[in-house]
Amino acid sequence: MIQKSNSIVEINLSQLKQNLRTLRSYLDEDTRVMSVVKADAYGHGSVEVAGTLEPMVDAFAVNDIHEGIELRKQDITKPILVFEVPQKTTASQYRVHNLTATVSAKEHFDWLPNGTSYHLNFDTGMGRLGFDPEEAERVLTLVEENQNLFCTGLYSHFATADSPGSDFVTEQHRLFTNIRRQFPKELSAHIANTGATAFYSNEQYDMVRLGIGLYGYAPGKTGIDGISPILEWKSKLVQIKPINAQSTVSYGATWQAPAAGNLGVIPVGYDDGLKRSLSEELTVCIDGKIYPLVGTVTMNYCMVFLGDNQYKPETPVKLLYAKNNARDWASKINTIPYEILTSINPKIPREYIL
């Protein structure tokens, strides 16, 4: 992969561990933790994140089987659950790499080769993957009929656990408890994500699946005390030039300088993950001062109005940082921190602070 060299993403691994310790304080002592590192650990780099967390967690989860293979190649040895629907073309790889598959429909029993381990997925209300709760008895029969495969757990996923007090969570919990009762006790059972862990009690079963909270964000509007973001995105000014009052900047000529001043050019655009819809919505930090991005964000550049201030090329620019984090960005364009974080182009180098 060709790396981009115009910005860097800095990730604080000690804060990552701190976030995990904070989230553990919501758990019963014997509840196990599965760390969700799908989507390249929400843009943070799955190999480094998993390597850092491995001594402190019990298992990992990824979406795509190739993400699991990558972790195995990088010497991650704890169990790895793959969420995605097994595909005939890659089904043999679960066993080869000791990955746990997800079985969420009847045909998956036929696609997985002998000796594959799997967890069952039930759809208790998410409306995505999984068996219908009413099928539980039939699914148990299928498990018993398919002794060539090893069922090691069952799970489900909440649709509304990102905020406290949802009746829908209670209902999904009730359905999952019913399912759980029909399966052997030795099987692992898990349903809670970050939101369910922080905002609900009695949802833990024997394991929780923590994603966004590890990266320092609460899933919805309600905050979680004691966690903070671990990622900063930094670039630099590549050109600074004087502009006249009323000069326009960027495509569409939508922004006009209110007065004469200096324009700075930052080599980060929507190809890097700085969403075009954030045009004229963001500020950046240069030398401790806050300046507005002006004009339309382009594919490889965005512009900042510096007023009377003058800077040299190569002056550092902070784009995404504690006081202007993925939640702040997300709130301006009606999305969630998850989408902002996973939009940062993986070709941008990640630097890790211990």
Ligand X SMILES: *Cc1c(COP(=O)(O)O)cnc(C)c1O
Active site members: 38, 251
Q: Which is nearer to ligand X, 190 or 234 (CB)?
A: 190
**How many residues form the binding site for ligand X (CB under 6 A)?**
13
- Asked if 278 contacts 250 with a C-beta cutoff of 8 angstroms, the reply is no
Q: Which residue among 36, 302, 306, 340 contacts ligand X (CB under 6 A)?
A: 36
State the Cα–Cα distance between residues 247 and 260, nearest whole angstrom.
8
Q: How far is the CB of 227 from ligand X (least distance, A)?
A: 11
Q: Which residue among 157, 234, 236, 275 contacts ligand X (CB under 6 A)?
A: 157
SS3 (DSSP) at 183: coil
Tokens of 125: 């209300």
Under the binding rule (CB under 6 A), the answer on residue 219 touching ligand X is yes
Question: Binding marks (x or -) toward ligand X, 294..333, rule CB under 6 A?
Answer: ----------------------------------------
- Asked if 218 contacts 224 with a C-beta cutoff of 8 angstroms, the reply is yes
Q: Is 128 annotated as a binding residue?
A: yes
Instruction: Tell which positions 38-77 bind ligand X, by CB under 6 A.
Output: 38
Backbone angles phi, psi at 341, to 5 degrees: -65, -45
Q: How far is the CB of 38 from ligand X (least distance, A)?
A: 6
Residue count of the chain = 354
Q: Is 24 annotated as a binding residue?
A: no
SS3 (DSSP) at 105: coil
State the Cα–Cα distance between residues 121 and 292, nearest whole angstrom.
46
Instruction: Tell which positions 96-115 bind ligand X, by CB under 6 A.
Output: none
Q: How far is the CB of 130 from ligand X (least distance, A)?
A: 9
- Asked if 286 contacts 315 with a C-beta cutoff of 8 angstroms, the reply is yes
Which of these segments, 130-138, 210-218, 260-268, 310-318, binds ligand X (CB under 6 A)? 210-218
DSSP 91: T
- Asked if 348 contacts 272 with a C-beta cutoff of 8 angstroms, the reply is yes
Annotated binding site: 128, 299
Q: By CB under 6 A, name the binding residues for ligand X.
A: 36, 38, 83, 157, 193-195, 209-213, 219
